[in-house]
Amino acid sequence: MLKLAAIKFGGSGRLAFVDDGSLRLLPEDLVQIQDAIAAGRPALRALAARADLQRIGYEEALLRAPRTDTRRDILCAGWNYWDHFEEGKGRRDGQEVDRPEHPTFFTKGPDTMIGPFDPIAYDPAISAKWDYEVEVAIIIGKEGRSIAEADALDHVFGYCLANDISQRDLQRAHGGQWLKGKSIDGTMPFGPYVTLADGVDPSAIDIECVLNGTVVQSASTKLMAFPIATLIAELSFGMTLRAGDVLLTGTPAGVGNARTPQLFLKEGDEVVCRSPLLGELRNKLTAADLHSPSDGRT
């Protein structure tokens, strides 16, 4: 399976195939993930077959978040594993709901996204309830509206991991909607690369979250309440999905908010999100001042 990484090399952003413990650099006319999406998966497969691509050593420090140019919030599905929906009962501070008959969607701000090994910004003045959520993320590769479920997977460019770090008290404090409690700057690790959709069975992706060496979430996408094709079909109904859109597909059971006693993140914690297919995110919560006024440039 082809794995495409966004890296920093020679002082510039580049793209590279992850291949046998090394990186093979794509030509310099393909330097952004959006360029690769525009080129298309068949062209990337042909490019990967070339023997003349420059090869360099694989170093985690080179990898960056595989950002796209969608100009849209990050799209998300909530409550998409029934075990996660059930474990939250009685933990929603009076904001209980019936089991949904359709996917639950929300968005989170794009400034949340960080690299696969970057520090997660942590500020207890913002929230007292920081939680982890390992998720499979998809990147849309082909624009469409009202996409039929049978055609939905043709619109997927590739798959990544995401850690949808959440502030549970902020989720409850703003009317029960999730935007605010999911949109704190510098808190969503993403990557570590894009596993192109060719040959991937989206119903058979294993994922885990490990907190300070202890497995706290472990599941397969076969346990999803609504499979990825259904998410795409329902989300796109009457709403155009654009090439480059990122969609998080939900987290399984095991989140800290649903545990007894509850388990919330603190400064210095290391959170690892991993998948045999999609790679590994490894991030530490690091003190940051997110509550002081800023012009947005720091």
Low-confidence ranges of the chain (pLDDT < 50): none
Q: Are both 204 and 133 inside the same structural domain?
A: yes
Q: Are both 129 and 85 inside the same structural domain?
A: yes
pLDDT at 285: 98
Per residue in 150-208, pLDDT (tens digit) is 999 999 999 999 999 999 999 888 877 789 999 999 999 999 999 999 999 999 999 99
pLDDT at 296: 65
Q: Are both 282 and 171 inside the same structural domain?
A: yes
Q: Are both 85 and 127 inside the same structural domain?
A: yes
Last residue of a domain, which of 19, 46, 64?
64
Q: Are both 56 and 116 inside the same structural domain?
A: no
Q: How far apart are CA 138 and CA 120, in angstroms?
A: 21
Residue 40 lies in a domain: yes
Q: How far apart are CA 124 and CA 247, in angstroms?
A: 28
Per residue in 20-32, pLDDT (tens digit) is 899 999 999 999 9
Residue 296 lies in a domain: no
**106 closest CA partner among 235, 258, 202, 255:** 235
Enumerate residues 6+ apart whose C-beta is below 8 A from 24: 16, 17, 48, 53, 54, 55, 56
Residue 297 lies in a domain: no
pLDDT at 91: 64
Q: Are both 130 and 180 inside the same structural domain?
A: yes
Domain housing 281: 74-287
**Residue 104 has which token pair?**
């639950």
Last residue of a domain, which of 64, 93, 116?
64
What is the domain-level CATH number for residue 280?
3.90.850.10
Contact 133, 168 (CB under 8 A): no
pLDDT at 4: 98
pLDDT at 71: 83
Of the chain, the end-to-end C-alpha distance in Å amounts to: 38
Number of domains in the chain: 2
Q: How far apart are CA 78 and CA 250, in angstroms?
A: 5
pLDDT at 112: 98
Residue 42 lies in a domain: yes
